[in-house]
Structure 1
Amino acid sequence: MEKIRVILSAELLVFVMFSIAEAPPSANLSLNFYDVSCPSAELMVRNTVRSASSVDPTTPGKLLRLLFHDCLVEGCDASVLLQGNRTEQSDPANNSLGGFSVIDSAKGVLEVFCPGTVSCADILALAARDAVETMIKIFSSKGLSLEDLVTLSGAHTIGIAHCSAFSDRFEKDSKGNLTLIDSSLDGTYAEELMKRCPAGASLSVTVHNDPETSFVFDNQYYQNLQAHKGLFQSDSALFSDNRTRKQVDDFANDQVGFFESWGQSFLKLTSIGVKTGDEGEIRRSCSATNM
């Protein structure tokens, strides 16, 4: 699998790129890895993400989810982009992943200007970073423990979900209608979800993760949890569990604090299982290993 050589952090809202030097795995981190080999790498990825997001506002959520699935399975090695049998993409659990075309587009541009230089793993990490930056561009300020879990769950402030992803909160009665069986979900919100996702709804039907500010990366997700409007059962659990409830309340009342924690937890996430030095390869195409 590929190496990831850029590690992303943030001070409030401005994300800063770091990299792992082209050296043995124990090497220290250094700044601006592509400054010499491909000075415009970040700009090209950022422009690709912004262009795609302007056409499809669900793009940022897709890119964030794509990165999470990549990093949490085999480490941040872009293996989720590989196509074919017995790949991560072929796993039914990943059927709803999207954003692949954005990564392919960015890779295509980079291969023209900096052939064989920028890894797909780095492109994916940069694209996910820029996806968040795209969502919060109206702000100008600078900004995987249990705490990281609460923080990274905040990614549900944007994006969409298929009805099947939260169907376990309902059951079908004898007449074929859905009824709410999860008392942790707000009744009015549940009614809205059942209207959007009735029994027998098409597999293509989706709802927004955040019913309030679905296209803005903000702290509304945590306010939704306080109002018992977490879309997934795992979301609601963060508010009902005494170990995590205080952090939910803190983030709901402090957006800057959420952004600061997001930067720190995002750095941890994109450091999982990184490949450095002679490990991995820089693929010519993100969807296949080099021959």
Structure 2
Amino acid sequence: MLLCLSYSAHSSELAFDFYAASCPMLETMVKDTVRAASSNDPRVPGRLLRLLFHDCFGNDTERSDPANASLGGFEVIEVAKNVVEMFCPDTVSCADILVLAARDAVEFTGGPGIEVPTGRKDGKISLASNVRPNIVDTSFSLNQMKHIFSAKGLSFDDLVTLSGAHTIGSAHCSAFSERFKLDSKGNLKLIDTSLDSTYAAELTQQCGASQAQTSITVNNDPGTPFIFDNEYYQMLLAHKGLFESDAVLLDNAKSLKKVEEFANDKNRFFENWAQAFLRLASTDVKTGEDGEIRRSCSVING
């Protein structure tokens, strides 16, 4: 899970009825777009949710950083934007559309429905140099993740809760390659003993000797990869967390307790997810004159 939030302003300027007069059908248009795309490709919800954590649009700028090379879902946001522009021109930001689409992706895959405030503006600046200081990489330690989350005003509990985003979606083999090594015969061998050996064998079979390639992907959650549920935490307790950043949640008493709580109670996870999602989506947003309404999500207005 990576964080690339490049907003700045006060979330108090957001409102649940922000587009009530200017674009009353906004949420329906976004929902219909996400529903259609998800029906055609079950990987779409995971991609949209991941995209929210990156939130990096822009040609040859933030989006050009290698950490964002494997992102998907841009085309769904652009389709939604085009539909919205037909009925509400120059009114709705790509930032708001992205938050709504990610919210809908969770709900469509079985997760909780969440009412989210809107009123965000799109950034006027997009720099690749802004990416690395703001991401949580899949190989990060717990302390590294805590530092990034804390800098964004998110709590330790938010960290554990938002890690649950890995209950849907997929990742390239290179995202967890540090947990393996190539032996003299060119075969992948497990070096991270915190990973379940049977699961590790399945991963090596899927990835082969091409762990660094970006063409092969595996599901984040080996249990129910297309359903937003608490299976991620159950898999984690079974030492089947795909990333090092997943596995380290078991190494701390506080995070382990939270993992166990969510693994045993899906409703509790959903309650916490809704709250953490709102905090994430309302962190450091641009509003008012601090941003703009992009005409195209991939290009800053010029």
Which TM-score applies when normalising by structure 2?
Answer: 0.81
The residue identity in structure 2 corresponding to 1:161 is A
Structure 2 counterpart of 1:193: 203
Q: Structure 1 vs Structure 2: percent identity of aligned residues?
A: 62
- How far residue 203 of structure 1 moved from its aligned partner, in angstroms, is 2.5
The residue identity in structure 2 corresponding to 1:188 is T
- Distance, in Å, in 1 between the alignment partners of 2:170 and 2:6 is 29
Structure 2 counterpart of 1:59: 44
- Distance, in Å, in 2 between the alignment partners of 1:218 and 1:212 is 10
- How far residue 3 of structure 1 moved from its aligned partner, in angstroms, is 10
Confirm or deny: 8 A CA contact 2:166 2:220 kept in the other structure. Answer: yes
Structure 2 counterpart of 1:16: none
The residue identity in structure 2 corresponding to 1:267 is L
2:181 to 158, 164, 171: 171
Q: Does 2:94 align with 1:131?
A: no
1:204 to 215, 218, 230: 215
1:91 to 65, 74, 87: 65
Write the mapping of 1:1-291 to structure 2, written as runs, cut at 5 A.
25=10, 28-70=13-55, 80-84=56-60, 87-136=61-110, 144-200=154-210, 202-291=213-302
What's the Cα RMSD here?
Answer: 2.2
Which contiguous aligned blocks of 4+ residues in structure 1 show a shift greater than 6 angstroms? none
Confirm or deny: 8 A CA contact 1:3 1:279 kept in the other structure. Answer: no
SS of equivalent to 2:15: strand
Q: How many residues align?
A: 259
- Distance, in Å, in 1 between the alignment partners of 2:80 and 2:14 is 24
The residue identity in structure 1 corresponding to 2:209 is A
Judged with a 3 Å threshold, the aligned counterparts in structure 2 of structure 1 residues 183 and 214 are, in CA distance, closer, same or farther, namely same
Confirm or deny: 8 A CA contact 1:58 1:159 kept in the other structure. Answer: yes
Structure 1 counterpart of 2:145: none
Runs of 5+ unmatched residues, structure 2: 116-153
Confirm or deny: 8 A CA contact 2:182 2:188 kept in the other structure. Answer: yes
- Distance, in Å, in 2 between the alignment partners of 1:216 and 1:27 is 32
- Distance, in Å, in 2 between the alignment partners of 1:28 and 1:197 is 46
Which TM-score applies when normalising by structure 1?
Answer: 0.84
Runs of 5+ unmatched residues, structure 1: 5-23, 71-79
Q: Say which structure, 1 or 2, has more relative contact order (CA 8 Å, 6+ apart).
A: 1
Judged with a 3 Å threshold, the aligned counterparts in structure 2 of structure 1 residues 25 and 215 are, in CA distance, closer, same or farther, namely closer
- How far residue 27 of structure 1 moved from its aligned partner, in angstroms, is 5.2
Question: Which stretch shows the higher mean deviation, 105-114 or 269-278?
Answer: 269-278
Greater helix fraction, Structure 1 or Structure 2: 2
